[in-house]
Amino acid sequence: MMSRRDSAEGQPQAEQDEQNEQDEQNELSWTAGPLDSVSVTAATSLALQSARSKSSLSEKSTENEQKYDNVSSHVWSDADYDSMLETIEKVESAGEIPNNRPSWANKTEYLLAQVGFSVGLSTVWRFPYLCFHNGGGSFLIIYVFLMFLVGVPLLLLEMAAGQRMRQGSIGVWKIVSPWLGGVCFIVGLYYSVLMTWSLFYLTQSLQSPLPWALCPLLENSSQFDPECVRTIPTVYFWYRHVLNASDKVEIGGLPVTHLSVCLFVTWLITCISMIKGLKSSGKMLYVSVFLPYIIFFFLLIRSLMLKGAGFGLKHILSAKVSALYSLQVWRRTGNQLFLSLGSGFGSFTAISSYIPRSNNCVVDAFIVALFNLLTSVTAVVFVFAIMGHYATKNFEKCYFKNAEEVRNLVVAGVLPPEASFPESLYQDISATYSAWVSSLPEDIRNVLLTYLTNCSLNEELKEVMEGPGVALVAFTDIVSVFKRPAFWAIIIFVFLVTLGLSTLMGIVQGIITPLQDSFSSLRKHTKLLTVSICAFMFLSSLVFVGPSGSYYVNLLDDYWASVPLFCVLIMENIAIVWIYGARRFLADIIIIFGRPIPPIYRWLWCYASPFVLVVLFLSTLIHLYLNPISYIAWNSSISNEVDQSYPSWMKILLIVLIVVTILPIPAYFLYTLYTVYFSASKTHSRTTVTFEPEAKGDILGSRPRLHSRQGLKKMSKIDKKLGGNLPAM
């Protein structure tokens, strides 16, 4: 029996060329197979058709198959890659199955969706607080370092996967877990409450005077509420009127009425914005992304003009060197980076799956990361300027209080008349007080200091920067420095509501897209699916608007969120970089862009990202194990914040939530590997893991899952196109 090569030589030249061209197209169609990844299948080598030709072709077949495997995983150089790129793209475009998947109207809406999801309330809610308590400038240095070492590469990984495979998080990460949307779901529940708080403040801003500007009067009395008198009006309003907070997490109750209404409005706005899919959400993004930045710019300018703003800004530049060597600082910075940037939730993948494959996601990843960094730094500058202003005001109040005490001591005869504080020094007391105390005789000064309060600007700044809700206090307090506080209060809380809306829309998109990819019938009922998800999430989030609801929010935000997030990031990194293959994935990106990208990404994906993620994951688990979990509670009897430990049943709840969200990921992952290798052992042949679209309809009419090496002639064609310079693996 003649071999295939002999048979080809006996054909007429025209028929042989036609056959060769057909073979080449078939082979190149096979090379595009792994790029259209949706599910995991086993691709096995097909036995040679004839026993007579087996012995003569075995060595050549092995050599050519090894060269072919190098094609799928090699990051081509310009010389290797240019000669085959055009052919691959033409064949892939010609053979690509038409996709009725919707797309963003333009690149602007796509970028707005990515930036809007990444830049949310946590950027201005927690970032300034963490920056102040973790080394100031050192925190910023670590944040920038981790962003470009790990944040941007993982962001690119998710964007490129969603864009290339045109699937949401479950489609792309199906090897990781079909329950990936669970993390996104739980985060969406308590994130909507953050937006609810801002929305309630917005409704309260529609009156004058503002309700948090003064302490309220007791009912049927002319006296102020003593609970408010013992603290400041803004803090009292936050705990008593906004949260209606209980003194302990164990003291529950029904959902607070006004917060429940605002929560319903929050989910109603989100549902309306997304009910028509990309058409409605894309238009809404112009408002929810552009408007916050315009407002934030004017707020920043105004804050820098306040007295004492410079003192607050000095703490940004004053980096603590010891913080650079603290594992806890690195852990907190890593947690903030991924919670703020948004990697691991599946939303970047879902959003990118609606953009054409030719889009340059490398540039997009840097744009999103830079916007996130710019907004975070701007939030730090704004909050530190405001807090510097209030620290200076409290500092001056301390001096005035001491001056009044000196006057009382002189009247009482404790101090001589020459110790009286001059009236002329009241004009600029912060600059003259220290000089006046130093000018007093030593004996009088020693007696005086025993009666006076020690005024420290640093201590005042530390006091006003306490509590993770410091940004909200800053936003409520800043309006007092404006001539029309009610107007500026409306502007500020419109800023916070729109900032939170774009992120919440991204979270919901990360839930809807995977469901539609897993159950294609849901694509025909987008409106019903959107309404159902928003309604269910509204009902589920009611637990967070009760009297102890804010303590549940703190539990999830401070202790739960980072653990499943790091686990998801680690597993998706393994799935793409180590199972699918970093080189193969880079080859996919090359075909997308039409040019190679820096090979450093492969090193970052294979080594830097897994190492950093594992260290952060383990350090977080160790921190949770060694340290008691606590929360800041409101003690109404003393009108002050106190540190409380969560009860044992809350710790059990935390463990259950972590296990429920993490366990399905490695379980499904190991099940998939077992299935693949079990199938391979049954076929007694070499098995490779590829990602391909699932066959639809008749299996015989679709592209076969078990691809055979279809001849040496086609291998020679590919070798010639690659210049015969494929390196050995």
The binding site for Na(+) consists of 116, 119, 340, 372, 499
**Residue 423: DSSP 8-state:** G
CA-CA distance, 46 to 48, in Å (whole number)? 6
CB atoms within 10 A of CB 86: 11
Task: Return the residue matching tokens 């025909």.
Answer: 524
Preceding omega of 209 cis (within 30 degrees of 0): yes
CA-CA distance, 223 to 216, in Å (whole number)? 9
Question: How far from the centroid of its chain's Cα atoms is residue 225's Cα?
Answer: 41
Helix (DSSP H) and strand (DSSP E) numbers for the chain: 33, 4
CA-CA distance, 496 to 484, in Å (whole number)? 19
Is the torsion defined by CA of 549, 551, 557, 561 positive or negative?
Answer: negative
CA-CA distance, 638 to 325, in Å (whole number)? 38
Token pair of 599 as six digits: 């090979």
| Residue 67 and residue 7 in contact, taking contact as beta carbons nearer than 8 Å | no
Classify residue 260 by burial, with Cβ atoms within 10 Å: 0-12, 13-18, 19+: middle
| Residue 472 and residue 212 in contact, taking contact as beta carbons nearer than 8 Å | no
Sorted by sequence, the CB contacts under 8 Å of residue 327 that are 6+ apart come out as 619
Is the torsion defined by CA of 469, 471, 472, 478 positive or negative?
Answer: positive
CA-CA distance, 468 to 126, in Å (whole number)? 6
**Residue 326: DSSP 8-state:** -
**Counting every residue, how long is the chain?**
729
Give the ranges where 306-353 is alpha helix by DSSP (H). Answer: 309-317, 327-341, 347-352
Query: What b-and-e string marks burial along 402-414, b requiring 16 or more CB atoms within 10 Å of the CB?
Result: bbeebeebbeeee
CA-CA distance, 433 to 326, in Å (whole number)? 39
Is the torsion defined by CA of 496, 497, 498, 499 positive or negative?
Answer: positive
SS3 at position 570: helix
Distances (CA, A) of 547 to 189, 256, 450, 725: 17, 7, 43, 69
Distance, first Cα to last Cα, the chain: 35
Binding region: 116, 119, 340, 372, 499
Give the ranges where 136-256 is alpha helix by DSSP (H). Answer: 137-146, 152-165, 169-172, 181-204, 226-229, 233-236
Backbone angles phi, psi at 521, to 5 degrees: -65, -25
Backbone angles phi, psi at 644, to 5 degrees: -120, 150
Query: What b-and-e string marks burial along 352-364, b requiring 16 or more CB atoms within 10 Å of the CB?
Result: bbbbebebebbeb
Q: What is the 3-state secondary structure (H, E, C) of 586-607?
A: HHHHHHHHCCCCCCHHHHHHHH
